[in-house]
Copies of this chain bind each other. A is one copy, B any other.
Amino acid sequence: MPRRLRFIVGYDGRPFAGWQSQASGNTIQDLLETAFASIAQQRVRVHGAGRTDAGVHALAQSAHADVPESRLSPELWAAALNASLPPTIRVLRSRFVTEAFHARFAAKGKLYRYRVWNDRILPPLEFGRAWQVARPLDREKMRREAKLFVGRRDFASFAANRGHSVDDTVRTIEFVRVRERGPELELSISGDGFLYKMVRLMVGALVRGASGQAAAGEIAERLHNPKRLLARARFVAPAEGLYLVRVKY
């Protein structure tokens, strides 16, 4: 009888081609599955709460895998996985759960963080970990516009096309908080679900607005007329500033 191992995994997004399995093999899912297989001596499928794109970091991605019966405790599974994973991927916690738990289908929401470095120079130790925006940003305007996203809304205009259309583009955003720390703007975004590249499209819109590049009322307009295409306005903030902070169940 296999047992379901639930685990939390953190990663530096830079060295990898995102979460989802690919032929190249250099994805978080592939490297986890390789590590599981080397321990279990059989193919083990890993299910993540969601896919992160290449370059996106995770402080605590959530996942599960059905592992063959063995004498390994959840702690030993984590230690064995970490021994065969690169140091930029770490299994941080693990425990056995019933089959009622599914990392993706049981998820009730996610918390993301996006780091904007608003200065002419990006410190070398922040490279790949924040989006550098040299233009001055109107931080008050950003705080004001961030509130427009809160609530249950149709985010069709804040979703990238994934090659197939998504029927239901309504999502509920719990909060968008903007925290300042010197040149750094840290946005925390919590919601019950996110469309493809939705966080990065939201941050792109907020930064466009705060730098004076957007037309007045652009975000409100996009939320009000979600199906209207505003090609110029669909600016995706780069992956390296984005962190999956945690998945809620």
Residues of A with Cβ closer than 8 Å to B?
10-12, 57, 59, 82, 87-90, 92, 121-125, 127, 129
Q: Please measure, in the bound complex, the distance between the C-alpha atom of A89 and the C-alpha atom of B123, giving whole angstroms.
A: 8
- Closest CB of chain B to A196's CB: distance in Å? 24
Nearest B residue to A92 by beta-carbon distance?
Answer: B121
Instruction: Say whether B87 contacts A10, CB under 8 Å.
Output: no
Residues from chain B with a CB closer than 8 A to the CB of A125 are 10, 12, 57, 59, 129
Instruction: Say whether A90 contacts B124, CB under 8 Å.
Output: yes
The contact of A88 among B12, B59, B90, B124, by CB within 8 Å, is B124
A and B contact pairs by CB, cutoff 8 A, 17 listed: A10-B124, A10-B125, A11-B124, A12-B124, A12-B125, A12-B127, A57-B125, A82-B121, A87-B122, A87-B124, A88-B124, A88-B127, A90-B122, A90-B123, A90-B124, A92-B121, A125-B129
Q: Please measure, in the bound complex, the distance between the C-alpha atom of A125 and the C-alpha atom of B10, giving whole angstroms.
A: 8
**Number of copies of this kind of chain in the complex:** 2
* Residues of A contacting B: mostly: mixed
Residues from chain B with a CB closer than 8 A to the CB of A10 are 123-125
Q: Please measure, in the bound complex, the distance between the C-alpha atom of A82 and the C-alpha atom of B88, giving whole angstroms.
A: 27
Residues from chain B with a CB closer than 8 A to the CB of A129 are 125
Residues from chain B with a CB closer than 8 A to the CB of A59 are 123, 125
Q: Please measure, in the bound complex, the distance between the C-alpha atom of A208 and the C-alpha atom of B205, giving whole angstroms.
A: 51
Extra 19 A-B pairs, beta carbons < 8 Å, given A87-B122, A90-B122: A10-B123, A10-B125, A11-B124, A12-B124, A12-B125, A12-B127, A57-B125, A59-B123, A59-B125, A87-B124, A88-B124, A88-B127, A89-B124, A90-B121, A90-B123, A90-B124, A92-B121, A92-B123, A125-B129
Q: Please measure, in the bound complex, the distance between the C-alpha atom of A87 and the C-alpha atom of B125, giving whole angstroms.
A: 9
Residues from chain B with a CB closer than 8 A to the CB of A12 are 124-125, 127
Residues from chain B with a CB closer than 8 A to the CB of A92 are 121, 123
